[in-house]
Chains A and B, each alone.
Chain A
């Protein structure tokens, strides 16, 4: 199919206003947040901005008839090249399709279109005293469609788990254009074990099996209070033990975050007024729930931590909680301060390891970065072993980029070696597909068989996951 014919077909389906086909504009669909996307130009041939399931279905049918690749895209805030058309073709920009169709408060559920931004949904749910618990750091921009496709989570996964636990059902347009609804899309039951669980098949499939066009998700009562305990450790090895002590005391915090030595230094360089103590590690425990239980749990945590920590502070005062959070909230932006003229790049940024091997992982990352002379800052969700490493390089220095690749590969292999995974919440996409055989063995063949069954022409987000 000629490009002009393809563009005309898309215009016919969604209209001229919602079609992007000019060359310069198409280049602005060639990136997400990954470093790999800044080293390549994955440009689509045309972008469609559909606003109905029927439009998506018509596009998929046309694409299937002509064997044209289709890649769905949300806000493009991912870090894996997951939403990039590595083989060209059509990109479906679903981000403007952002209607919250229904809040069914008595039944604790919401029906929404894929472009709804996470924080917007939670702002909207506030009036009902409800919230959608998974909380990615990208809450202000990431879309629900992207969250479902990548099975996202965030720091509160410790207590609330990941996106899949909240998805009751999906409406999906299959690669041939057929529209299916899975699980509880058409019913309002909060539990549903009828049939093979197709919903879970699509959650986390990264757009390789179909286009998610509608999401029914369950929501939870919004906690009334939050408290924060911060503890400093002079020895990194003491930190994971302290987390375990808290769990053993029967307390499940909503988040447990860690800043290692490198992150503490970066924060202090970036915002000297925050003035974090020069510790080997800082742990931040967040508690949420009812005021009385938070008070008790907070005091309990503070007294437990005093055994191993060199300093502990605990507060429920919203202003103080905000101040204490500051160190963690600026660390991503602060990371680049460790290297003058450096840029933070997203690569090797999402490993997840067993809790009892977090300290080992952090040391391993430090060794790798020192060996290859790449500046690294590590922080993350120690509560579930998810470590975010910020690597700082000068992207214009080819030698440094080569060394970066070695560090990234080393971090991913380290994670697998320690009994963990290359990605805890960001996904595989293109950047981690090389590790799929090592992580899944012959299960990769089962994945491929499922993909072939649903997408025999291989048009749905090709080149990803495996």
Chain B
């Protein structure tokens, strides 16, 4: 099993210093050692050595992880702590040959394009993600597979990796991404990519994750793209780590692409709002790119960025974590939204659909919209629209 190889390779290098305790959002809530990254890495070793049998108890402990990567980012021994934990999830689940839950999970993410054709699938997806008031068609039906800029000759041919969450939950983000990129002179191609594989890898479904990667790799090679971008920090982190666009080339996060490649002119339309910037964990700890989001938003005229007290933290979403560990997820969220509200911002912005969903859940009773950076940027460029004298951000929530 690949998982045991990863565990054996790394686990013995953990000196149990406990530095990972200082950054773990789950430990912060639960307090007990089994919830700490160190505890789960130690458990991984016990399972690999046969001292703890695979089983529901081990699975339960290992499920106390958001796979946010904060622990890996600052491990003094440089261990991929969250990678060890996800490998251990696979090992812990090996006690049963057939698990309806794992079968469903695997099928859901590997067969998404096929399932997506079924009527009612989008609603099912939304329901699973905690319910959302959004209606309308998935993004893939709203944007064209190829969109050309108004200028005659495009600057470059950009592939848009449209992730599952944006496609089914936040199609308006996809529309904004395509609008901004074409406005800035790119030809935007949206191939029918499969799931990025992160939800599978995080659940210890390494083999299934590898399969989706192969599907995506074939597509990427077939389309002959100059660059591949995504609006989702998690997709960007995972796919860059897997080398989808080649070893040296990242799968650009939206803001990263703008800053590093396009370096666009400042948008013209003022958005007079104070905005709290939420840096998704996979952007901060995985790609280490928070500066780009800050720079892109800071460039919007009239927009003032406000600091979240405590420097920002995890929203507690973590994909399926918010479903499987709802109570812990909500407690992390509650603590964090309290910090966001105390910042005095009128709006929160980020670059991760999963974080957007989670933060909207936490702020639904407050008068604070949560938006993707592409939505704000699209507005500030006012693509294809005449200026609106009094711009109300909450409009964006209902598009």
Contact = CB atoms under 8 A, between A and B. Distances in A.
Nearest to B29: A96
B73 to A, nearest CB: 13
B326 interface: no
Contact of B17 (A18, A24, A141): A141
Interface in B1-47: 12-13, 15-19, 21-22, 31-34, 38-39, 42-43, 46
B52 interface: yes
Contact of B18 (A24, A38, A93, A141): A141
A305 interface: no
Contacts of B77: 333, 336, 344
A49 B76 contact: no
Interface in A51-102: 75-77, 93, 95-96
Contacts of A33: 15-18
Nearest to A22: B57
Interface residues of A, number: 37
A27 B52 contact: yes
Contacts of B12: 343, 395-396
A117 interface: yes
A47 interface: yes
Interface string A316-336: 000000000000000011001
Contact of A24 (B13, B22, B32, B57): B57
B17 A77 contact: yes
A345 B15 contact: yes
Interface in A345-393: 345-346
- Which of A24, A38, A141, A343: most chain B Cβ within 10 A? A24
A332 B31 contact: no
B21 to A, nearest CB: 5
B18 A76 contact: yes
B32 A47 contact: yes
Interface string B75-91: 01110000000000000
Contact of B31 (A32, A49, A138): A49
B16 A75 contact: no
Contacts of A76: 16, 18, 33, 38
Contact of A32 (B16, B22, B51): B16
A117 B22 contact: yes
B279 to A, nearest CB: 19
A29 interface: yes
Interface size class of B (residues with CB under 8 A): 20 to 34
B21 A336 contact: no
A38 B16 CA distance: 9
Contact of A333 (B16, B33, B39, B76): B76
Interface in A391-405: 395-396
Given A33-B15, A119-B22, A20 B32 contact: yes
A49 B22 contact: no
Given A28-B34, A332-B76, A141 B16 contact: no
Nearest to A47: B32
B332 interface: no
A140 interface: yes
A93 B33 contact: yes
14 contacts: A18-B31, A20-B32, A24-B57, A25-B61, A27-B42, A27-B46, A28-B33, A33-B15, A37-B16, A140-B19, A140-B22, A141-B22, A333-B76, A343-B15
Given A27-B51, A117-B22, A346-B15, 12 more contacts: A24-B34, A24-B57, A28-B34, A33-B17, A38-B16, A47-B32, A76-B33, A77-B18, A93-B32, A141-B21, A344-B15, A345-B15
7 closest cross-chain pairs (CB), A and B? A96-B31, A28-B39, A77-B18, A140-B22, A141-B18, A333-B76, A25-B34
Interface of B: 12-13, 15-19, 21-22, 31-34, 38-39, 42-43, 46, 51-52, 57-58, 61, 76-78
